[in-house]
Amino acid sequence: MIRDRLLVLANPDGLRAIDAALDQSGDRFTLERVNRCSDALRCLAAAQGGPFSAVVVDLYLPDSHGLPTLEALLRQAHHLPILVVTARGDEPVARQAVQFGAQDYLLLDHLDGYSLPKALDSMLGRAARLANLLGSAASARVTLDSIGDAVVSTDASGNVTYLNPVAERMTGWSGPEALGKRLQEVVRIIDAHSREPVRDPLALAMRLDHTVGLGPDCLLVRRDGRESAIEDTAAPIHDSHGTVTGAVIVFHDVGAARAMSARMFRLAQHDPLTELPNRLLLNDRICQAIAAARRRDRSLAVLFIDIDRFKCVNDTLGHATGDAVLQSIARRLVASVRDSDTVSRLGGDEFVVLLSEVACGEDAAFSADKLLAATAAAHRVDDQDLFVTASAGIAVYPADGMDAETLVRNADLAMLRAKPHRRGLPPFAMAAATASHVASKDLRVKPAPEGNQFPELPPASV
């Protein structure tokens, strides 16, 4: 098995993250690790263009910071593809790095055994395809006409000299029509967010005299106005004397892949039944809210809501009906809080609501009343009104906890201490219901109000 040798350039924490992410790839890659830019340049100089297949780099190192790190690597080894790994706070610089010659970037906190090997394989594949394109002219034409990626070349003035069949389909221009036109007229590429034209990658490749790539989230605008998400690589074309005579761009449609990636990312952070944030995303939201509350010297509240005896609903009416009731409850909870708040489903019949800012515990109790009243109102399922009741516990930052785990745990404990007051109530009924709850931030239990008892209904009346 042929193994690609990677030069990995990062701080110790980054090196450990990369090692862990590549651990599942088996013998696919051989790594040489350094944590200083100067050491990397010595390694590249000693390699003389042979052993290394690619470079994986964190741009912020003890002896080099930001884009100068990339520029130094490109000067030493402009033929090697470069993958930038970066902390979330440094993402804008990573985006610039892609514009100036890096192939792609990944966030350090998103590295895993799937995303990093996939990004490397994609990058190395593009580099291999590009190397083939720069071979002999006779074989290149046959290859370009049959290759699965779109290929467009220009002369030194930026005028189109060639489109392969895939490029014709993706741009809407035939080869004869496009010949001699400015690249920007034939290959219109815009930023998906700003809708502004992106920097011409071919002009940049010729000016820098090395391979460059598009930034993320770029769209190709077809001649008829249709748009497609693309990834590309652009490289200068040299004559036999090494003079730059033009450039070639290779790109392909990544719309389906990006849509699938976005869907998988959403599924990883949301409950599939209700589409509410799951425990992972809730924890992140609480941590962010705590940081904001600490800066502003404010309070926030976490409400743990549990549907009373919901198992009986599933056992009596079936799981499909139970799921429909849970979806209805989720919609009610979301509609009852502010846009800045978060409603999460932990699983089963448990919901957690983050109130991102409250003045005091009484505000949280008022919100709990509102949420439980919304839950108790009739849920229309299969032409019948179903009623459920719920119990809730409240934890307020900072009095009841200084971190997300403690706040959720204390809210859960408060809810559990409220539960005994609801024994004797049916889980659903064909009549109105009033919910009881714990509304004290110090976890003391308030007795349930009198007069909330429902008569038990015979099965026929359900």
Nearest to 85 by CA among 63, 68, 64, 102: 102
Question: Residue 272 — φ and ψ, nearest 5°?
Answer: -65, -30
Domain ranges of the chain: 4-131, 134-257, 270-461
Angle, CA 107 vertex, CA 106 and CA 112 arms, to 5°: 80
Q: Return the top range by mean pLDDT from 32-41, 46-55, 329-338, 425-434.
A: 329-338
Report the SS3 class of residue 2. coil
Question: Which of these CATH numbers, 3.30.365.10, 3.50.50.60, 3.40.50.2300, 3.40.50.300, describes 4-131?
Answer: 3.40.50.2300
What's the pLDDT score for residue 241?
78
Q: How far is CA 30 from CA 6, 53, 123, in A?
A: 6, 10, 16
Q: Which tens digits make up the pLDDT trace of 371-427?
A: 999 999 999 998 888 889 899 999 999 999 999 999 999 999 999 887 755 444 444
Q: How confident is the model at residue 50 (pLDDT cuts 50, 70, 90)?
A: low
Q: Domain 134-257: give its CATH code.
A: 3.30.450.20
Cis, bond preceding 398 (omega within 30 deg of 0): yes
What's the pLDDT score for residue 413?
92
Contact 40, 34 (CB under 8 A): yes
In the predicted structure, residue 438 carries a pLDDT above the cut 60:
no
In the predicted structure, residue 439 carries a pLDDT above the cut 70:
no
Question: Which of these CATH numbers, 3.30.70.270, 3.30.460.10, 3.40.50.300, 3.30.1300.10, describes 270-461?
Answer: 3.30.70.270
d(CA 78, CA 96) in angstroms, rounded, equals 17
pTM as predicted: 0.45
What's the pLDDT score for residue 343?
95
Q: How confident is the model at residue 15 (pLDDT cuts 50, 70, 90)?
A: confident
Least confident of 209-213, 360-364, 419-423, 425-429: 425-429
Reading the block at residue 207, the tokens are: 């000016």
Q: Pairing mode, if any, of strands 82-86 and 104-107? A: parallel
Q: How confident is the model at residue 154 (pLDDT cuts 50, 70, 90)?
A: very high
Nearest to 98 by CA among 248, 258, 221, 232: 232
